[in-house]
Amino acid sequence: MAALHNRVSRKELKERILNDPTPRKTISFYCYFHIEAPNEFRDELYLKLKAFDVMGRIYLAHEGINAQISVPEIQLEAFRSYLYSIEPLNGLRLNVAVDDDGRSFYVLDIKVRNKIVADGISDPEFDMANRGKYVNAEEFNKLTADPDTLVIDMRNHYEFEVGHFENAVEIPSDTFREQLPMAVDMLGDQKERNVIMYCTGGIRCEKASAYMLHRGFKNVFHLEGGIINYTNQVKEKGLDNKFHGKNFVFDQRLGERITDEIISNCHQCGKPADTHVNCKNDACHLLFIQCDECREKMEQCCSQECLDFIHLPEEEQKQRRAGIDKGRNVFNKAKSRDIRK
């Protein structure tokens, strides 16, 4: 059976969702459980979710499912009932977005991968069943009030830059697979201390907690549901909020406003700013932070070179883009001199 997929262009799908007034909820969830036949599960899931008009990005692997989606509010209960009809997912926590306009996704992509989180772990002795202890928002606040507790951010450097927890330790990297060995190296002489790991929705810090235990750390915790669930619990229970700034998310929004604080700076002029954009030049698409003034001046481009490029005739742009592999093109410290010229 051929893989089911969208046949309408992404540009048209994006225009549809932007012009559709249907109220939608952005939701994320994950679960580590064994999937015997991911490709078959993928096609079944695609048909079911398409019927509910679900949009989003879902990764499947033998180790489980990782999903970030948007669902029409009118279909939310039907979607939940279907999801919970899958035995390992029955009662699964669904993280509801904090700052949501319902336009987070415009297409449904379900992909089968080797792992739902690319971790670079090849050790056959590693076991996800031996993972750290969950902590909720209240427990997180109590544990992090202890100066002997290490708070470890298991997100990429550009996520940490715009928002993070008080006293959090950054593991500076572009990818999760780089972070795991870096975290062990950075904290290697502190294996007896309490270590609390967190990420956006919980999937990375849960795996990281298992890896740290595997590498000999004794007291490892991870924030249940990540920053998203923490923020919702803080609001519901009236707790002190220890997260500052913005929570980066991997959809059209590129961020959820958690507090009014702006703790980062425009990568072009240095003014306070925390809005991520992708360079408008289709041959670049660099992910970087840009203030409103620079966005207007530079027309959402990261450099004068890219600004000049987008004003070339379209046919010439296509010719110059041919064969370019942008890969993971994100701003980092090594690129800072170039972008601020």
* Residue carrying the six token digits 């742009």: 317
* Neighbouring C-alpha atoms within 13 Å toward the C-beta of 160: 21
Catalytic sites, residue numbers: 199
For residue 68, what are the β-bridge partners?
28, 57
Phi then psi dihedrals of residue 197, to 5 deg: -110, 145
Give which of 153, 338, 121 is closest to 227, Cα–Cα: 153
- Residue 19 amino acid letter: N
Q: Which long-range contacts (CB under 8 A, 24 or more apart) does 16-19 make?
A: 16/106, 17/55, 17/103, 17/105, 17/106, 18/103, 18/106
Distance of alpha carbon 195 from alpha carbon 173, whole angstroms: 19
**What are the angstrom distances between the C-alpha of 62 and each of 31, 83, 88, 232?**
11, 18, 13, 30
Q: In what order do the strands lie in the sheet with 95-96?
A: 95-96, 24-32, 64-72, 55-61, 108-112
